Chain A
């Protein structure tokens, strides 16, 4: 059994508990023990926090990292944004003595100290490296017969262990392929979904990013989009609803990687809180289940 400190983030437990449910079911099947982090806070979120105040963002990240250090466990994240924030903070604090000293000066007031003893891993890395594709494939009892387009999410390309930014996206693709789906290429995989641009311009975000991607996804004949990031999922689902106000209609289901794994492992769809989806995922799954 592999054991990790479980960093859930904000969006998943608060807005997308369907992803948390699916993940816990998948972990159970794969013998991954995920220990909850008591008192963890937002990572903090990568778009606003670091731009406004880098030092505070580092302190908040460091506090979260000390919670995992106390347990002596590496940290696992489900969200691309949380992954980037925490993994980057971990790298900065491990190698920049001045910043670590400033951060620890604040943390010590509360009997905390960042020591740089743990690693931060995305769930994709854990499943691929610690569990392996062979084990994952062996658990697939209900292959998902659909054509899917992959959206990896920008933060998944952030790489701290090698120069190969495609390392984790490639892992995700290989993992998705174990579930019985057919992955279709649509040419705009690398393009941002537009979630962070919503801070600046809703119209740009929806029309110049999301709608462009969705057009290509539909043209490629995909039944659904699979993503590993909750923020991207919100953009793909809520964004399609918002696009209607701009006179643009799409109806593409968007499903999380962990949900796809859970379904292929035979977890009944009614246990997965799929009603939380704002895109027609329920309809797609019902159609597949006949």
Chain B
């Protein structure tokens, strides 16, 4: 019976979310985790609520992992705990409210907003701040917020950034290029950044290794997301 319900929940999430479901897995008996794209959070919860009328909202927890905020929505469906995980980049520190769908989320959302300094969006309260902290609490001194940074130590950041972005850890100046040419060397050695096709291959390999995500590299801007 339990196994059947677990499979049903997993299949239902796959059916309604398609590519918006990043990963779903059964961690152990009666424990399911689903990682979804933030844009479909409300739609997912509405669909689950409509399918499982006795679904109970347990709580919402939040983790500041340095680069991103992770929100974990825990539900109980007939004895099975389903956690919906959503990752939001800290460049946009927001928490999208679900309190209009799940009224029990009202206070925990406000608590998280206060303690982590994330902005509550579409919350039923006109001014939801000030539940745990005072309303005039300084924005930059939230008790549970970590600095915006990844795993790289300060001095390692320029090296890692250059390595990922260009495949070379030392910049070349026009002076060096000129001197190289004058002495009969190629203007620049044949690094990946001198050829778009080769750079594409290099970036593809680096992306596939996963280091970009681990250190917080912005592929569009070709730099670290933090300084």
Contacts and interface: CB of A to CB of B under 8 A. Distances in A.
B209 A199 contact: no
A96 interface: no
Interface residues of B, number: 39
B183 A21 contact: yes
B170 A53 contact: no
Per DSSP, are chain A's interface residues mostly helix, strand or loop, or mixed? helix
A48 B176 contact: no
Contacts of B205: 59-60, 63, 106-107, 109-110
B152 interface: yes
Interface string B187-198: 011111001001
B192 A8 contact: no
**Most chain A beta-carbon contacts within 10 A, residue among B167, B185, B195, B206:** B167
A178 B198 CA distance: 42
B183 A106 contact: no
A49 B163 contact: yes
B190 A36 contact: yes
A55 B190 CA distance: 24
B169 to A, nearest CB: 5
Contact of A55 (B151, B184, B185, B209): B209
A199 B210 CA distance: 24
Nearest to B154: A199
Contacts of A8: 189
Interface in B182-221: 183-186, 188-192, 195, 198, 201-202, 204-206, 208-211, 214-215
Contacts of B198: 38-39
Contacts of B176: 14-15, 17
Contact of B180 (A13, A36, A107, A200): A13
Contacts of A56: 206, 209-211
A51 to B, nearest CB: 8
A199 B191 contact: no
Interface in B142-164: 151-153, 155-156, 159-160, 163
Given A42-B163, A45-B169, A199-B156, 13 more contacts: A13-B180, A14-B170, A39-B191, A39-B201, A53-B215, A56-B210, A59-B205, A60-B205, A60-B206, A106-B208, A110-B204, A198-B155, A271-B183
